[in-house]
Structure 1
Amino acid sequence: MSATTLALVAAGVAGLGTLYVKDNRREKSRRALSFEGCRGYLENERVTLEETGYPKVTGRYHGTEVEIRLAVDTIQLRKLPVLWLMVTVQRSVPVTGVVDIMTRATNSEIFSPHNDLPVALPLPQGWPNEINIRTDDPQAAGPVLDKVADHVQAFVADNRGKEMLITPRGVRLVHRLCESDRGHYLMTRLPRFDGDQVPFETVDPLIQQAIAVAESLKDMPNDQAD
Structure 2
Amino acid sequence: MPRETNAAKRARAIEVCERLNRRYGPVECFLDHVSPFRLVISVLLSAQTTDAQVNRVTPELFRRWPTPAALAAATPEQVAEVIHSLGFYKSKARHAVEAAQMIMSDFGGEVPHTMAELTKLPGVGRKTANIVLNVSFGIVEGIAVDTHVNRLAHRMKLSPKTHEAEPLKTEQDLLKILPHEYWRDVNHQWIQFCREICSAKAPKCGECPLVDICPSAPGK
Higher gyration radius (CA): 1
What TM-score, normalized by structure 1, do the two folds share? 0.27
What TM-score, normalized by structure 2, do the two folds share? 0.28
